[in-house]
Chains A and B, each alone.
Chain A
Amino acid sequence: MRLNEIPVEGIPYDQLKIEKIPCAPAYAERAPELVSAGSRTVVVNPNRTCMPLGAMWAVLGVHGAIPFVQGAQGCATYVRYTFCRVFKEPATIATASFHEDAAVFGGRRNLVEGLRNLVVRYHPEVIGVVTTCSSEIIGDDMVSFIKLARAQLRQEIGPEQADRIEIVLVNTPSFAGSHLEGYDRASRAFVENMATVRDKPNGKVNIIPGLLYPGDIREIKHLLRHMGVEGIVLFDISDPLDAPLRPPQKFPYEPPGGTPAEQIRDMANSLATFALLPHAGQAGARYLERKYGVRAVVGPPPVGVQGTDQFLRTLSAVTGQPVPESLLDERGRLIDSLADTFHHTMMKKVAVMGDPDVVLGVTRFALEMGLEPVALAGGTASKTFTRDMSVILKEAGFTGDPLLLNGGDLFEFEEYLKKLPRLDLIIGNSKAVDIAKELQVPLVRTGFPVYDRFGYQKRAVVGYRGGEILLTEIVNSILGYQYPDDRTHQL
């Protein structure tokens, strides 16, 4: 299809003449009784991955920490590969290298030897032991294995050095939950193992960002700085996974930054814990609340005007610090951008996919822009997604009836979009590229993972300034799509 043939009214599916996915040379409606993921067993193109990834992500955000994956090599290698492509950074992740013998006799030897090798070769300060489907099915008794490993380390490198290494176990059986739960469990495991009360509160707030990118975490820190609030960001990947290139590096290469162990210990003494993305982080926040009385503030994602407002308002209430003029100006600038562009965004049809919290945050912002959601797919099934989404839709006074996929897969999402009379835009991660290409609508990339374009991990979508970045991207995508010939439209 040549560009100037793109109808402004969106593209009905029957007008598309592009290569379909290999299995279906021509589009025929697929067995309709099987299209909805709920009515079938098979999953086609999953919209989530498994727990260990989330836990590895978390561990990489701790200073001097290396994840150790108790499983076969692929689980670690695939995730390293994913992180490399998303962050364009090295990601050191060790694995127990299960082979047939481990499958038969269990992973004790692999863990004990593996931790020993990791310590003598890489000298981590913290090790996050992450389990997998294999070790959980075999039934490895991780707690006693780790004890054994530590005993051996004490012998080999001396008790003093061996005890200085924090070893935190995160149980992440891949056959339950998703990567979000892996991160969630890690947040709990780390505070449970490390947080300790001191006699004095520290006056800080804890932030558990969830699977947000370095750019987002920097933006959150920016907000804290302007509020005059000191924060502890747990799993602060902003430096380790967006590190400067300044050779000669100190050797061996150690990623800079990450949350220092000392700060994790101090999390028990903070004013409150903000779990920005509830599905990835609330377990840690709730634990701190139950055990140490640190107030847990779970969600909503600080995306868009109201999302960020809410975050700042709670932050202000918790700390007693007023929201400063500088941030109100930032808010005003975002509002100004909305005013300057809404005539392009109003009533445009948008589909959003990704992790449920991302979909919630982004949809709320999309509604602020006047976009009309037609399909919303949160890849991980959640108890709260449908409820929270209807609250957001109601709050915006939106009367449409978008498809809500709580869990489900991308096949279902795609089939639904194909039958819509009109779609202007998809917002989602790189896993939606094939759908956007097939439907020939623009894809605005956000969320995890984005690996087919550069720089998305470096910029924010959270906060007012992040909102401006996302808005810019959305508006420009719509313009590019509606006016493919640049000469026809001057903004």
Chain B
Amino acid sequence: MEMPVEVMPERAGHLMVKGAGCGGDGLPRCEQATLPGVVSQRACALYGARWMLAAVKDVLHLMHGPVGCAWNAVTVRRKSYPVAATCLEEQDIIFGGGEKLRRCIGEAVRLHPGAKGVLVYVTCAAGLIGEDVEAVCGEASAELKLPVAPVLCPGFCGVGQGDGHDAAAAALLEYFIDRGEPGPVLANSVNILGEFDIRGDLQEIEKLLGRLGLKIICAVSGRASVENLSRARRAALNIVHCRRTGRMMAEAMEKRYGIPQLKVSFFGLAETAAALQALGRFFHRDGVEKWVREEATAARQKAAPYLKSLAGKRVALFFGASRMGSMARVFQELGMELIMNGSQFGCREDYREAGRRLKRGALLVDDAHELELAEFLRRRRPHLLVGGTREKFMAHKLGVPFLVFPQETSPYAGFDGLVHLAREMAALLDAPVWRLARPSGESPAVRPVWPEEIKVAVASREGMYVDQHFGRAGKFLIFTLNGRKVRQIEVRESNGGAADCREKTAKASMEQKMALLADCRAVVCLAAGHCARELAAGKGLLIMETDAAVPGALDDCVRMLASEEVAENE
């Protein structure tokens, strides 16, 4: 149960291998500031606030900051939304931007006479020059007779986008929900908090709620407007679909208006069924169990043709925050094996939920940075990585298919959503490109006939798979490449040693290994530390990392050597 990635001492505790007995409650450290410089996948509070609010209709979205924040904030979940901006400039930084903000709010409203409110996003620059945005908004609001809500989300606040979610929720609560007229509870009505209607998810959910006779007042923020937010306080129930973005509002609304809340997930058959049954119980509906079972069966039948492509495939998940647990269940439901689950800014509860669904040996990780993810992909070779666009192209480069979630194409929520998910995933895994991309697909012409014998060392325990870390390998199998033939000639014993460059004995044992392999052109191993790579580079020894079977690995190694040769001769 080895840790599949190199863990910097500063990152210790953020990565956990299930069942490795790392003490404590087995949950990763979380909700802490990111280490600078490690290329984390986290974003800023403004990003989080935009994630929450961009889809709110009929209000003006005004970015109070430099032009870049505004330009960036236009696109949310691959859709663009119009924005207004103060575009702070040098003199505003020096003399303050309050007056500019005041003027901008007024002008923007005049340009958009239909606007029923204004959201003013405070970015880093505005936060740092430290002006009283709340006061300016208050005055503007009185003057324009519109809600003008400051969203306090300067990029540096908190640890990631989560703090922007909270700032956005606070703004919606104070300026839109709370200002609605109180009134009697609207019968059979719900709000959905933390639901963004990605590729039609909300319609799927609405269809199901419709069968229970429930009406959605507003979905935050997949279907949110000033009008429906003002009625939100009269809902009979708050459904929390995403804990990270929905819970804070649900709790506040429970406290203020006594609206009970229910945390559910509409992804996957089991979770959707459980959600509908819980709703049925809450609203005293009969016969829910029966139709839910029928729907689930029907969906399972529709998904059946795709399941054989998914069965037993190893999948790794890396999400924003709180979908880890519920989505884990979905992939397991489809017969896949979960070998990693992680998030950018999950909380302990998220990890607890996720941890429960992991098998021994699987990795649970908080705020994984780019290289950790890449190392994991390289060493554990999942069949599929699921995450956001930023991770996608790295995975592709390493030959790992990738599913973007939140999704890019069809709705994944509800019973039918699972069928979409199964179909699209099967397509991803079976795509011909992965077969074509295999090195064996390349033309054999690149394999040269070497004039002399070339030796390659392979770090393998049994000679079946490449399964030894370079630093820790106790022996190397030595192969010769002569012309087109590959032949094993001997086994060389080494005295094992250190896997980590920081270990004291590392240097000596590395030197010893280098001497042992002095006549080899390349070494094929499971992994090699940076110090080994440096030493090797100095000695002209090529290191190739793989966990493939030995013959295939040798084949790849031949290709790598050949392409090196070509590069050198060019």
Where the two chains meet, the residues of A that have a C-beta atom closer than 8 Å to any C-beta of B are: 21-25, 28, 30-31, 34-35, 40-46, 48-53, 66, 68, 71-75, 77-82, 84-85, 88-90, 92-100, 102-103, 110-111, 113-118, 120-123, 132-134, 137-138, 173-176, 178-179, 243, 245-253, 411, 431, 433-434
Contact = CB atoms under 8 A, between A and B. Distances in A.
Interface stretch (B61-69, B170-178, B206-214, B274-282): B61-69
Given A41-B107, A42-B103, 9 more contacts: A75-B44, A77-B43, A84-B393, A85-B389, A95-B39, A97-B37, A113-B36, A133-B68, A433-B80
A70 to B, nearest CB: 9
Contacts of A173: 90
Interface in B151-192: 154-160
Interface in B513-570: 530, 544-546, 556, 560
A35 B108 CA distance: 11
B44 A72 contact: yes
Interface in B54-83: 57-58, 60, 62, 65-72, 74, 78, 80, 82-83
Interface residues of B, number: 92
Nearest to B159: A99
Contacts of A52: 68
Contact of B60 (A23, A46, A77): A23
Given A45-B82, A77-B42, A132 B114 contact: no
A275 B400 CA distance: 39
B47 A44 contact: no
Given A45-B74, A122-B371, A174 B40 contact: no
B125 A134 contact: yes
A245 B238 CA distance: 47
Q: Which 8 A-B pairs have the closest CB atoms?
A: A74-B44, A50-B68, A247-B399, A114-B36, A114-B37, A72-B155, A117-B37, A23-B112
A98 B44 CA distance: 10
Interface string B232-258: 000000000000000000000000000
Interface string B93-128: 100000010011101101111110000000011011
Contacts of B103: 41-42
B37 A48 contact: no
Given A96-B36, A97-B34, A132-B124, A73 B42 contact: yes
Contact of B35 (A40, A46, A97): A97
Contacts of B107: 34, 40-42
B156 A102 contact: yes
Contacts of A77: 41-44, 47, 390
A73 B114 contact: no
A253 B65 contact: no
Contact of B375 (A84, A113, A252, A411): A252
A243 B158 CA distance: 36
B29 interface: no
B85 A21 contact: no
B10 interface: yes
Contacts of B87: 43, 46
Contact of A73 (B43, B69, B438): B43
B12 interface: no
A75 B44 CA distance: 8
B90 A81 contact: no
A463 to B, nearest CB: 24
B39 A92 contact: yes
B8 A248 contact: no
Contacts of B74: 45, 431
A460 B68 CA distance: 27
B390 A80 contact: yes
Contacts of B492: none
A246 B567 CA distance: 15
Contacts of B47: 74, 77-78
Nearest to B124: A134
A252 B125 contact: no
B535 to A, nearest CB: 12
B105 to A, nearest CB: 8
A121 B374 contact: no
Nearest to B164: A74
A118 B37 contact: yes
B491 interface: no
Contacts of A100: 156-157
Given A99-B157, A121-B8, A49 B371 contact: no
A458 to B, nearest CB: 14
B144 interface: no
14 contacts: A23-B58, A84-B392, A95-B36, A96-B37, A103-B156, A122-B371, A123-B530, A133-B66, A173-B90, A174-B68, A178-B67, A179-B68, A253-B374, A434-B80
User: Which among A68, A74, A80, A411 has the greatest number of chain B C-beta atoms within 10 A?
Assistant: A74
Nearest to B395: A90
A34 B397 CA distance: 49
Contacts of A250: 544, 560
A78 B75 CA distance: 10
